[in-house]
Structure formats: C-alpha cells, structure tokens
Amino acid sequence: MPTEKAIVLATTNRGKIAELRALLANTGITVKGLADFPDMGDIPETGTTFAENARLKAAAVARATGLPAVADDSGLCVDALDGAPGVHSARYDGENATDAGNNAKLLDALRHVPPEKRAARFVCAMAATTPDGRWAEARGEWPGVIAPSPRGGGGFGYDPLFFDPSLGRTAAQLTPEEKNARSHRGQALARLIPLLDTLLA
Ligand code: IMP
C-alpha cells in the first residue's frame, strides 16, 4: 500500500483538476483543488513570463496550505505581435475581457498580416513546489497559425483561431482527447508527472 501523499493544484478549474487526477491515478498521490481551501485569497499574477507566474502561484499555495502545490500559467504568443498577447492572454481585450472580445482583438491586430506570417504558439509553464522549498518545473509549446476567422465549437479561449497545420483543423475542431494529446498543457503535464514522484518522495 503506497503512503498517501497530497498535492494542491492552484486552480478552481474542475477540468484541470480532473486531468491531473487521471494522470496521477494509481500513484498514491491525491490531488486537491483550491475549492478545498476556500480561505485562500486571490493570487496576484504579476510575473512577466509564464514560468514566473506559475512559480508565484505554486509558492503562494504551498505557503498557505502547507502542502506541495502545482500551478500552471499559459497563453498564446503570436510571432507577428512580438509574442503578444503572451502572459496577458486572458485579459488581452481589457479587464473584463471575453473569449469573443479577445479573439476579435487578435483578428483586428493581424488584419494586414498575410497567412505565411501568422505563426503562433500556445505555451504552458508548470511549477511544483514543496513547503520546504524544493521545485520541479516543466514547459510545453504547441505551434500553429492564426486562422483568418474562427472555426469550430469546442475548447475555449483562442481555440477557434488556433489552426494546427499538421492536422488541418483549429484547436476548437479537436476532441478533448485529441487536444490533450498535443496541447501545450498536455505536454507540460506529461513532463512534470515523472518529476513529481521524486519531489514528493
Ligand atoms: P490560464 O493560464 O489557463 O489561465 O490561461 C490564460 C489564457 O490563455 C486563457 O484565458 C486563454 O485566453 C489562453 N489560453 C491558454 N490555454 C489555452 C488553450 O488551450 N486554448 C485557448 N486559449 C488558451
């Protein structure tokens, strides 16, 4: 019988928690979410890189809960926009931005940019830390192209505009399984999982 170990994923997003739980099934590691710690206040994401934000969130949650914590930070980087929206992806169109507003702003910013110059990537940084200050980190990138108009009804965020040329579909046209198998978050998580065993040993 493995000893019970618990980690907190620094999110209230049930999809992300379920994904990590599934990947850690049979490892003896229990995954908690921030819903299990209602007193945990807002964590400021003041970093200038995805990795910095992931570290800030993981450190804050480990400190507040006394448990090892995992955090991710992700976004879309567009070459023709010098990497924007980047760490500002969620609020590209302003403080109360919606997915539709963010996508409209992105299309407008690229209106004069021809197809061959619309390269972009989704990036995800993951950081895990223990209350005694040990760390594990991983990163994933998913290259693609920004489509001229939205396509597909699945996913969230910039998925309808993110076209994967190797598949001939946007991220919003993929099943969740197809997306997880190649996404920036799927890649980062797959790299982090083997490191967690050592971190929690
Ligand atoms: P978060 O790091 O999960 O909070 O994501 C930050 C923002 O990046 C989201 O609000 C989305 O706008 C964008 N983003 C991150 N990952 C994805 C994705 O897989 N598809 C579409 N948009 C994403």
Give 157-191 pLDDT, tens digit per residue: 999 999 999 999 999 999 988 999 999 999 999 99
Average pLDDT over residues 112-138: 97
In this structure, the residues whose C-beta lies within 6 A of any atom of ligand 1 are 73-76, 89-90, 102, 122, 155-159, 171, 183
**Average pLDDT of the chain to the nearest whole number:** 94
| Listed residue (81, 83, 60, 84) closest to 70, CA to CA | 60
Q: SS3 for 162?
A: strand
Select from 33, 35, 53, 52 the least CA-distant residue to 43.
53
Looking at residue 3, its pLDDT comes to 56
Q: How many A from CA of 5 to the centre of ligand 1?
A: 29
CATH code of 5-200, in short, is 3.90.950.10
pLDDT score recorded for residue 78: 99
Distance 87 CA to ligand 1 centre (A): 10
| Confidence (pLDDT) at 197 | 84
Per-residue confidence band for 124, with pLDDT thresholds at 50, 70 and 90: very high
In the chain, where are the structural domains located?
5-200
Q: Note the pTM of the prediction, 2 decimals.
A: 0.94
Residue 26 CA to residue 1 CA, distance in Å, equals 11
pLDDT tens digits, one per residue of 50-86:
999 999 999 999 999 999 999 999 999 999 999 999 9
